[in-house]
């Protein structure tokens, strides 16, 4: 598992995944589902 080294450094956007690459840079990638909230189904 990873380790938290700093908090609050990157302003996060909903629907994006953040990770540290091999060079140590913080990268942003759009998630497949987009982080959108689901609509309620009618019964």
The answer to pTM > 0.85 is: no
Give the distance between the most distant pair of CA atoms in the chain. Answer: 51
pLDDT in tens, 1-29: 677 777 888 888 888 888 888 888 888 99
């Amino acid at each position: 598992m990873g380790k938290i080294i700093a908090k609050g450094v990157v302003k996060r956007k909903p629907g994006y995944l953040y990770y540290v690459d091999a060079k140590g840079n913080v990268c942003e990638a759009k998630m497949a589902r987009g982080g959108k909230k689901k609509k309620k189904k009618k019964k």
